[in-house]
Chains A and B, each alone.
Chain A
Amino acid sequence: MSFRQGGILLPAVRNLQFALSGSEALAIVGESGSGKTLTGLAVMGLLPHGAVARGRIYFSGRMLVVGRDSDWDDLRGRSAAMVFQNPAAALNPVIKVGRQVSETLEFHYKISRKEADTKTLQLFSALGIAPAGRRFHQYPHQLSGGLQQRVMIAVAGALEPPLLIADEPTSALDLTIQSQVLDLLTAGVRERGRALLLITHDLGVVARTADRVLVMCAGVMVEEAAVKELFERACHPYTRMLLQSVPRLDRKLSSKLPCRPLNFRTASGCPYLPYCRRAIEKCRQLPPPLNISPTHRVCCHLAGGRRHV
């Protein structure tokens, strides 16, 4: 399974290209407004109105034209599904949560309601929504945030889609629940050979969950690498700043970080250009990705030959 995607115009996402295979978790990391959520929506064929998009996505060898929503009709749900950031808003507030899952099963598998309900109960137990029998008959507002997100994962995973897209799946949850939900998502990758596209700004979530990371800045991919390589040998100056900006338990934040919000360059060239201390004339044009190793590519004119940019 592979994707290829040209830019979404004006200037949310530019020339993004990536591939994702089964049994793999790819994280897209970036700040608010970096285009990571739009990327996820584009993969699902759910771009908002007014988005002008060009490009192609290849899904198990099938070509989908970005912007032609009908291409996705038989893919959504069965082949690709999405877990949203805010489960309380994504679930239907007036339908019992059990029914929200069994409805999907009934519709897609053409089975009786009773069979669908039984399957749903099994699914709930497997996802730790306990006691399944009682939860089945509750409404979303009667569940805690963690349980709501589990139901969301049940809805998305009901049809065993080979691709799951999770957009900030744990930002609304507290610490102890976060790791449980992430474990559920990774279990789908490790045990069922599912592909996971994880969209997040939280590098702690990335380190725990992802196999590969793609860093976006102002709609541009600046770096992509295996998770260990990225944390240990980040090449792009933006990635380095991002890594330095994470508060940690074992050291204080560097006071060298810029205190004011940054305005990245969105028209052309490298988005980090206004802040890069080593920028050269060539940076006014966006560099093509450079392969540093088989699992590491970076979009920087100064990377590669000169490692310590």
Chain B
Amino acid sequence: MSEILLEIKNVSAYYQAAGRIPPGKGRTIQALAGVSVCVAKGEALGIIGESGSGKTTLARVAAGLLTPSAGDVCYDGRKHEFRRCQSWVQMVFQDPYGSLNPSLDVEAAVGEGLLLLRKVSTAARKRKVAEALAMVGLPRNVLDRYPHQLSGGQQQRVALARALVTGPRLLVLDEPLAALDALSQARLLLLLAQLKARLNLSYLFVSHNLAAVRQLCDRVGVIHAGRLVECGSVLQVLTQPAHEYTARLLEAFLWPDPSPFRGRAGN
């Protein structure tokens, strides 16, 4: 068994409900109810579930962006401290355009993390930015472009480069493919798999794209209504689901294949 990098123990998270609340209902909404998962070094853990199930909350907890209401988050066996860990846990968000500062060019956007988290010289920063862009397969001529001048796939690569530049050991990927078209998705998936092997990275990959999870992840956890209902190896969970909810998710999967035995809508 390889070493554990991230351990989430019994984490619960509540949100204050906004707006008018019907009488008799509580003011808080529970997004996570006692979830425990761990990610080993060099391992990719997928998290699947429907909208509102708590996947994104779990991702935020793992990235240290949200302090859970109860439970512990440990990195490398030690309790999480936001400042100390931030350079080796990084996050990539669903909407690449929304997550990039529109007034920073690519060089500044990718270099910003270094500026804040690592004390390096300007020359070293420039070199590291160029390295990170090369790693994600972007040409050097994007350095002085702004987010709106890039395609969706390129924007997501910039976001990935920004996450990689501080040399993280864990990447939290929250639906990184959702805004991309089929071919860009395939390219990003292949890139993520390459990077994982090359840098011995760990991923927490949150997605509702079951096929993408199957491609990239070693293990997968299924979240339903804030609870982890199933967790196991990708092959096991996606071929012989133990929980009824997982089976329902698999049933809803749209096979890219019209063969009759897969069944079509309505018959």
Interface residues of A (CB under 8 A from B): 31-33, 144-145, 174-179, 182-183, 186-187, 190, 201-209, 227-228, 231, 241-243, 245-249, 252-253, 255, 257-262
Contact = CB atoms under 8 A, between A and B. Distances in A.
A258 B190 CA distance: 9
Interface stretch (B61-69, B81-89, B250-258): B250-258
A259 B137 contact: yes
A225 B264 CA distance: 18
Contacts of A174: 50-51, 208
19 contacts: A31-B183, A144-B52, A175-B50, A178-B252, A204-B253, A204-B256, A205-B254, A207-B255, A208-B258, A208-B264, A208-B265, A231-B256, A242-B182, A247-B186, A248-B214, A248-B255, A248-B256, A249-B255, A259-B190
B187 interface: yes
Contacts of A246: 182, 186, 211, 256
B215 interface: yes
B40 interface: no
A145 B51 CA distance: 9
B249 interface: yes
B38 interface: no
Interface string B192-232: 00100000000000001111101100000000000000000
Contact of B254 (A31, A179, A241): A179
Nearest to A226: B258
Majority SS at the chain B contact face: helix
B35 interface: no
B53 to A, nearest CB: 9
B265 A257 contact: no
Interface stretch (B9-17, B121-129, B149-157, B165-173): B149-157
Contacts of A242: 182-183
A203 B253 contact: no
Most A CB within 10 A of own CB, among B184, B189, B257: B257
B266 interface: yes
